[in-house]
């Protein structure tokens, strides 16, 4: 994604970031992506170790509706963005995905600095998606995740 700042079509690799947690969750490994694979989660964990104000997180974060709302806003805007940008070609699409990923990373870093290092992970749309897929898979095939990992 860093290289995509210099060559926009590389932003398409952002799709790998988005589909990897889904594939891992559907394969029965639950949220292993969050604990072992996600570069953003790893980055904010490391930054937060050194730069962290440790403020009390707003009550909003504990509300049941907040996480689905963040998910809906981010996924909704991503889909609208795809619809608008795909006809403009690969450079515009790569750039749009790059901007989207970088906005999420900035939000994640800000949350990590202000509250706890991995605060973002409590509302992250991809973490929410993979958690729901894990639960859905458990319900459908009555089989626990192969390796239960929590973040
Ligand atoms: S919750 Fe989101 S940011 Fe955190 S590790 Fe999982 S996918 Fe990455």
Taking the chain (151 residues) in runs of 10, the rounded mean pLDDT of each run is 95 93 93 93 93 93 95 96 96 96 95 95 95 92 62 53
Mutating to test ligand 1, I would choose from 121, 125, 130, 149 the residue with most ligand atoms within 8 A of its C-beta, which is 121
CA 149-147-115 angle, to 5 degrees, is 5
Q: Which of 52, 56, 26 is nearest to 131 (CA)?
A: 26
- Residue 32 pLDDT: 94
Give residue ranges with CB within 6 A of ligand 1.
21, 34, 38, 40-41, 108, 120-121, 124, 126-127, 151
Residue nearest to atom 4 of ligand 1 (CA): 121
- How buried is 127 (Cβ within 10 angstroms: 0-12 exposed, 13-18 middle, 19+ buried)? buried
Identify the pLDDT of residue 141.
83
Atom of ligand 1 nearest to the CA of 128: 1
What is the CB neighbour count within 10 angstroms for residue 98? 22
CA–CA distance, 112 with 109 (Å, rounded to integer): 5
pTM comes to 0.87
Residue 97 has what pLDDT? 96
Output the pLDDT for position 145.
59
Q: Residues 109, 13: contact at Cβ < 8 Å? A: no
Instruction: Give Cβ neighbours of residue 90 (< 8 Å, ≥ 6 apart).
Output: 8, 9, 12
């Amino acid at each position: 994604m860093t290289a995509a700042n210099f060559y926009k079509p590389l932003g398409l690799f952002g799709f790998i970031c988005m589909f990897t947690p889904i594939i891992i969750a559907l394969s029965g490994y639950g949220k292993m992506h969050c604990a072992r694979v996600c570069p953003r989660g790893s980055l904010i964990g490391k930054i937060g170790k050194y730069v962290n104000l440790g403020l009390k997180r707003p009550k909003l974060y504990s509300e049941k509706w907040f996480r689905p709302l963040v998910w809906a806003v981010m996924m909704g805007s991503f889909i609208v963005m795809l619809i608008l940008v795909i006809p403009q070609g690969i450079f515009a699409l790569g750039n749009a995905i790059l901007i989207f990923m970088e906005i999420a990373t900035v939000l994640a870093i800000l949350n990590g600095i202000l509250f706890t290092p991995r605060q973002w992970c409590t509302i992250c749309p991809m973490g929410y998606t993979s958690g729901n897929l894990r639960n859905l898979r458990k319900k459908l095939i009555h089989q626990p995740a192969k390796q239960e990992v929590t973040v």
